[in-house]
Amino acid sequence: MAGRLKGKVALVTAAGHGIGRAIAKAFVAEGATVWATDVDVARLEGIDRAKRRKLDVLSDKQVAAFAEKVGPVDILVNAAGYVHHGTILECDDKAWDFSFDLNVHSMHRTIKAFLPGMLEKGGGSIVNIASGAGSVRGIPNRYVYGATKAAVIGLTKAVAADFIRKGVRANAICPGTIESPSLDDRIATLAKTTKQPVDKVRQAFIDRQPIGRLGKPEEIAAMAVYLAGDESSYTTGQIFLVDGGFAL
């Protein structure tokens, strides 16, 4: 079904790697005009036919200025995020503040900046990347991460409810454990701190997946394409688990 997003303009944050990158590529393949953004613009190399730009979603000024430059979009994908490892006892104020700033406040910034353009156009689709950790399921050593992702779901539902009669839809994807550079970094860090082999730590992540494997970024991107396009025009305020049965 090529061309499912033809004629639509999309903005994807954190498109430099992992889920965000896979979504940006999938959107381009489906015919959208894609603004692929990341705080490190070098990571955007290889996303062919996308408009690659630097964007720091932690900056109110940058996000507002970027929205002014880009103009109205049809699709906004908020993929920026950070996974803190630890319980409440390992979460200091700095980790708490940074996690909420990147995982939640960044979405507040982008939605506030781009929503007026969607309303001007008469509609749009917002896709937020939440997680299977949070309000869906409590995960050990994901204290502040789970709190932020629960907040993302609440934020998504609130936006959906407020603008349901204005043509703007908002939905959240809740991935399970997905293969990504971010996961590789977390595995390496955990292996170092626990003094275990990297392969053993990675296998532990795999073993906790009911489906027996890690997810692929492209599997999240497929859901994002559906939620971004007109096929999901009757769907808003919902969460979509793509987690290999992790929440069962």
Active site residue 145: yes
The one catalytic residue in 82, 143, 145, 234 is: 145
Q: Using alpha carbons, list the distances in angstroms from residue 78 to 11, 38, 204.
A: 8, 11, 29
CA distance 76 to 129: 11
Listed in order, strand segments (DSSP E) in 22-167 are 33-38, 51-54, 75-78, 124-129
Q: Using alpha carbons, list the distances in angstroms from residue 99 to 48, 95, 160, 202, 220.
A: 31, 6, 23, 24, 22
The answer to whether 79 touches 23, Cβ cutoff 8 Å, is yes
Here the tokens at position 125 are: 């689709």
Q: Return the active site residues.
A: 145
